[in-house]
Structure 1
Amino acid sequence: MDLETDEENLVLYRTMGVEDVPAVLDAVAGAFHEGEPVSAASRPACTLQDWRSFTEMFLPRMAAEGLTVVAFDKTTGKAAQRDVTSDVLGALLNEDFMNPDPPGMERFLETAEGNWRPLLAMIEDVEDTMMKIHDIPLKPEERAAGKYFHLWMLGVTSSARGRRVGSKLLRHSLLVAKQHGFKMAFAECTGAISTHILKKHCSPRLDACVDYASWHKMPTSEEVKNLPAAGHAGMSLLSIDLVDFMWNDS
């Protein structure tokens, strides 16, 4: 479903369909590998192939749900075509929080080239706190469908810089969530850029956080502990009440 054509920046926004999955995988796996701080700082570092394998587990069901928003480059003239398999500038991968981990998750963790466990343990830590605050069942199968909207991962390619792609992906994702009747959206912001975008436009609530320098629930590398010096203070779980949500475009 087409959402917006940004003529000023030559970007088309639409929800991801099954036909978009290969191109989205190529673009966002590279963006995540380049920009996600914890996976890059873990030892051994998570590789591009890791990111492809990890993201590939989620994309088919996200395409089926129709909640993920993709930005396509219009400068080539191909983005308006439904059979496009290139020109993806970025995506905000979203899903209903009722979904469990994909069946291949344990196998992925056993065979990945990088050490994913610190990143996933931090995510589990902040999500557990959020679920207690909002009285969300711990087991996915016990959660109500269509209530909790997971802003799962924001990936923007280097060619999209300066074209407002990150903020527009967030805005359209939240509008999609409202249109589908979700009551709350949340995101685990692992880096400074995603944290800034949400705080600037959404006035979110801080439900939980992890300080990279002092987190002690699982051993982390010295590189992870030094992330605050590089501008990434920690992981923040930010939630948004969609019932009264207002977008701040200032």
Structure 2
Amino acid sequence: MEYKLIGPEHYKQVLEHLRKSFFADEPLNKAAGLCQNGCSNPELEDHCLEALQDRMSLMAVDEKASQDGKCKIAGVVLNGILRAGDTSKALEKLEETCDADFRKIFELLHRHNLKYNLFEHFDVDAMFDVRILSVDSGYRGQGIANELVRQSVAVAKKNGFRLLKADATGIFSQKIFRSHGFEVFAEQPYDKYTDADGKIILPVEAPHIKLQLLYKRICNEGKDREQAQ
């Protein structure tokens, strides 16, 4: 398996991978009924392209299965740069969307991030945001997701980030992030996320029971090293 940065020439294939391996099965997407397996969702694809354009996302490629100049993508991790104020702007923009299911998902994510402000807590202006982790069903169980996260940490270090964050929506990604030194900053149980009438907004299926906001500090500056001791 070869791991490489995702460039613009790969965007179409990455989106094809996500339609088949992530969009329908991700816990929040599935709970909201956002889209069917293999189908597109314009709002979600725009969200993915926004991360890809930061040029810090990675893919795992099975070179042996690649053919006719087209690489076989086994997994991807979409990483973006999150700056102070971005989440507030994204929440405002969300009011313009006509997709009620998409709005349900990202209202939860954005409001959870605003409630627990990592920028203020860690005194940073920007964070390395691990947004989507996806592995093709035919390649699961081979450590690909672990390696994608490991290499994402390396990319963050190389680009001078002091803090990584991830909104982990399912139990499997939560375990992977914690195994790489991410710590839980805040949680939101799905059965406690309700509307004014007490109805659960996103009825996520077990074993996925909560959203976790996770973080990892990178001690790549003298100040950070002193604080970590």
Question: TM-score higher than 0.5 here?
Answer: yes
Question: 2 CA distance for matches of 1:163 and 1:74?
Answer: 15
Q: 58, 82, 96: which one pairs with 2:81? A: 96
Counterpart selection for 1:28 from 7, 18, 37: 18
Q: Does 1:68 align with 2:46?
A: no
Indicate if the aligned counterparts of 1:184 and 1:239 stay in contact, CA closer than 8 A: yes
Give yes or no for the alignment of 1:212 onto 2:190: yes
- Structure 1: state its 5+ residue gaps: 1-10, 137-142, 246-250
- Would you identify which runs of 4 or more consecutive aligned residues in structure 1 move more than 6 Å? 218-221
Q: After superposition, where does 1:161-240 map in structure 2 within 5 Å? A: 161-202=140-181, 204-216=182-194, 224-225=202-203, 227=205, 230-240=206-216
Corresponding residue for 1:12?
2
How far residue 61 of structure 1 moved from its aligned partner, in angstroms, is 4.4
Query: Percent of aligned pairs with the same residue?
Result: 21
Q: Residues 147-203 of structure 1: CA distance to partner in whole angstroms, max 9, x if unpaired?
A: 31110111111011122111111111111011000110000000111001011222x
Residue 115 and residue 102 in structure 1: after superposition, are their counterparts in 2 closer, same or farther (change >3 A)? closer
Structure 1's 104 and 21: CA in aligned 2 closer, same or farther, altered over 3 A? farther
Output the amino acid matched with 1:32.
F
Give the letter for the 2:193 counterpart.
Answer: W
Contact 1:57 1:102 (C-alpha < 8 Å) held by counterparts: no
Instruction: Specify every segment of 5 or more residues in structure 2 that has no aligned partner in the other structure, as ranges.
Output: 225-229
Change beyond 3 A, Cα 1:39–1:91: same
TM-score, normalisation: structure 1: 0.74
The reply to whether residue 120 of structure 1 matches residue 98 of structure 2 is no
Deviates more, 1:156-165 or 1:232-241: 156-165
Alpha-carbon spacing, 1:183–1:215, altered in 2? closer, same or farther (3 Å): same
**Within 2, Cα distance between the matches of 1:122 and 1:53?**
19
The alignment's C-alpha RMSD in Å is 3.1
